Structures are given as C-alpha cells and as structure tokens.
Amino acid sequence: MNAEILGAWMEKLIARWSLCGERTFFDKTFFPWVTQIEGEWCAIRTELEAVLAQKDKIPNLQDVSPEQGVLASGDTWKTFFFYGYGHRVEQNCARCPVTARVLKRIPGLKTAFFSVLAPKSHIPPHRGPYKGVLRYHLGLMIPLPAGSCRIRVGDEVRSWNEGESLIFDDSYLHEVWNDSDFYRVVLFVDFLRPLPLPLSLLNRLVVWRISKLPFIEEAVKRLRNT
C-alpha cells in the first residue's frame, strides 16, 4: 500500500477515534504541555528578536520547499526551522537554545519553526496533507489592531494573541491574513495527533512514510544547507 492510499485510509479511522475529538480548533487544556510552552514565551521571543536582526538571511518558505510556491512568493513568508519532518536543524537549535529546549516538551513533535509573515500578506486557502498531525501556534509578535492578523480554519476565524496558543486541524481548508503594517510571527509546530493504541502506532508509520517522499527529503536537505 503506497503512502497516499494508506494516508486516506488512516484519515477515516482518525476522524472516528481521535482522543481529542474531531473539530477545527481544539481546547488547549487538553494538552498539558501548552502551559509550559506559554510560560516561556518571553524567552522564546527574545531569541526570535535576535534572529530577526538578520531577517534577510531567513529563508523564504518556497526556498525550502518549492512546492509551496503556490502559497507564498517573494519575501511574503519566511521560515526559521528547528525541526523539519522529524529532522533536527542543529545550527538553528544552537542559535535559540531556550526554544530548542522548550520544543522537546511537545510529545510527537515533527516540525517546528518561526513563521514570519510579512505585512499586508495573505496565505490563500489550502489544506495540510494528513490528518494524523495537529498544528500548534504560539503568538510571539502579533501586530495591532486586534483582528488584523487572523486565521480561518473551516468556517471558524480566530486571531492570535502574544503569549497565547492556538491548536487546530490543518487538514481542514484554512487561510491566513496579515492586514497590518508589521510582521506577524508565531512559533509554528506540527505534532502527532493523540490516538489510542494500536492506531497511534499506525499513525507514526504513516507519518514516517510521508517523511520519506522525495519532495520532503529534498526539503530536509535544503534545511540542512541553510
């Protein structure tokens, strides 16, 4: 069974047996580690500010993964990766040791980066490739006025707040706006969705198979060379 067929079959099981339910946005209290992450947000932001001092050196998303060029062009969306598809980016973790330490507290962490969205930007509607992971955002730099930076997932629209978290299922159609005059930055994380045994083991297998797809392996190579 190839990865695409296996993933589609698994998504039906995940929708039925997910331990955190089936919805667009999730109550963060279901995930005990969120409180610990939010408690360190100021230290994470300090490391982010040092990274942004050399903003021109942060890769654009499409430079890491050309397939994402349909979502962003030019300098619209910059990404400073700590983990990509389970692979640790050592040089970036070394530059941000507090962030790297905090990320280790997230069970099933697969991908993590500073997501830097330029002013007056829009990421068009799209969906993630697989329901077996959930997405976590920690607000780090959220411009005013309130609501100028927002995300729609399915039919729900939410805004970020600095030091606060959003957790959602990116397999729903979603899009993002930054209508402000400043950069919006979140800590962006994908982690394994909580599932019962043996489904959780099968989910790990599917995510591993996806990570071995050629375009993802090429993206990991680019990350290590940034």
pLDDT by position in tens, the chain (length 226):
555 666 678 899 999 999 999 999 999 999 999 999 999 999 999 999 999 999 999 999 998 888 776 888 889 999 999 999 888 999 999 999 999 999 999 999 999 999 999 999 999 999 998 999 999 999 999 999 999 999 999 999 999 999 999 999 999 999 999 999 999 999 999 999 999 999 999 999 989 988 888 888 888 888 877 6
Q: Is the peptide bond before 145 cis (omega within 30 degrees of 0)?
A: yes
- Please, what sign has the CA dihedral across residues 154, 159, 160, 166? negative
Domains and CATH numbers, the chain: 25-224 (2.60.120.330)
Cα angle: 98, vertex 61, 55; to 5 degrees = 55
Do the Cβ atoms of 15 and 22 come closer than 8 Å?
A: yes
Q: Which residues sit opposite 83 in a β-bridge?
A: 88, 112
Segment 53-96, tens digit of pLDDT = 999 999 999 988 887 768 888 899 999 999 998 889 999 999 99
Report how far residue 85's alpha carbon sits from residue 209's, in angstroms, rounded to the nearest whole number. 11
Instruction: Tell me the C-alpha distance between 190 and 138, whole Å.
Output: 12
Instruction: Check: CB of residue 68 under 8 Å from CB of residue 123.
Output: no
What is the spatial distance between Cα 30 and Cα 136, in angstroms, rounded to a whole number? 13
Per-residue model confidence as pLDDT tens digits over 96-106: 999 999 999 99
Q: How far apart are CA 174 and CA 128, in angstroms?
A: 9
**pTM of the predicted protein model:** 0.95
pLDDT of residue 212: 86
